[in-house]
Amino acid sequence: MPLILLIVKIYIKILISKVYKLTMKILAIQNRMGIGDTVIFLPFIKAISKKFGAPVSLLVKENSKADEFLNQTNYIDEIIHLERDNKINQKHDGFKGFFKLASDIKKYNFDKVFIFNSSLRYNLISRLAGIKEIFQYPLFEKQNQHITESAKKLIKRYLDIETSDNPEIQIDNDLVQKSAVKFNINDKLNILLGIGGSGPTKRIPSKTFLNVMERLENIKKCRFFLATGKNEDEQKILMEILSTKFREKCVALDNLSIKETLPIIKNCNVAICNDTSFSHLSSALGIKTITLMADTPLIYGSYNTNMHPIIPDGETTVSHNTHGKDKINPDKIYEKLLSIIN
């Protein structure tokens, strides 16, 4: 009888553990601004999800567009918008916003939170929201934090997991196939050109892309998908490319949402992108991506093994003060492209 009771107790513990995992609610807070910032943290979010056997909800800023590119990713639960530092909506900013955010988070009844920053504000908000288990970078150590290494240390410290995976964005294969039919994507060499950029110092001149396109024309039948934004400078670069003989070989994607663009990117064989959201998205979709790093720390173009960074001539690395958009050598882009496609 004691043996039977022991077996029953063990079975009940296992059952309770499984039920707890199924009902466990986990939040990750990533308060950086852009799409790329969110993509960079995906391996750590996935590690958390795998460890606890439950998808993870994200608190991210609205301009991260996370709800557009993570809506099919199975280790992500809900996307909650952090409405702070936003000119339109600042309901989570300031003293009142502190309590409003705590109230908004509390409604979800999270069991655990992983805070990918050293801010006391988010620590206190999590406590006020009733979250019992809080895992965070060391408080007040914001200066000189490495964007990936700090996250790796957090996951190692609390979960004892070494994280080295690439970011992964999942997308329904049916959408990819429908996109191939809609945009007539066939056996040509389909290349994503991420010609936009969040700032003028990141936007490589059109002549650099056109140089590579001209040389490719002699060896491959190519189709170019031009991804960019609506900024006046971005549109100028787009029009400069579309006004050439390559117009018929180009498809402009500037009128599509991120969600609509993803299946097209997934159909591409390779990508050549400025340091922009599209370099992060394409590499996370498993596309070999040549990243043109003109004016951003090199880690943003090299953290994923699908990324192949090109830095300005005469530089050994890149920072926010490099200003090297006119020194990105098209010869190096072309050589790297050949090494990928051959």
Q: Name the residue ranges covered by the structural domains of the chain.
A: 8-159, 173-341
> Can 8-159 and 173-341 be said to share one CATH topology?
yes
Across the range 145-168, mean pLDDT stands at 93
In this predicted structure, what is the pLDDT of residue 218? 87
CB atoms within 10 A of CB 253: 23
SS3 174: helix
Q: Cα–Cα–Cα angle for 149, 153, 158, nearest 5°?
A: 155
Per-residue pLDDT, averaged over 314-327, amounts to 93
Mean pLDDT score of the chain = 92
Please name the fold of domain 8-159. Rossmann fold (3.40.50)
Tell me the per-residue pLDDT of 230-277, one tens digit each, with 9 for 90 and over.
999 999 999 999 999 999 999 999 999 999 999 999 999 999 999 989
Q: How many CA atoms lie within 13 A of 77 on its CB side?
A: 20
Beta bridge pairs of residue 270 = 191
SS (H, E, C) 98-121: HHHHHHHHHCCCCCEEEECCCCHH
pLDDT digits (tens, 9 = 90+) for 79-115: 999 988 766 678 898 999 999 999 999 999 999 999 9
Within 10 Å of residue 63's Cβ, how many Cβ atoms? 14
Q: pLDDT tens, 173-203?
A: 999 999 999 999 988 899 999 999 888 999 9
What's the mean pLDDT in 168-172? 96
Give pTM, 2 decimals: 0.90
Burial of 342 (0-12, 13-18, 19+ CB in 10 A): exposed
**Residue pLDDT, tens place only, 54-84:** 999 999 999 899 999 999 999 999 999 998 8
The angle at the Cα of 220, spanning 257 to 286, to the nearest 5 degrees, equals 45
Distance (Å, rounded) from C-alpha 211 to C-alpha 207? 6
Q: Which CATH architecture has domain 173-341?
A: 3-Layer(aba) Sandwich (3.40)
- For residue 275, give the nearest of 291, 253, 297 by alpha carbon: 291
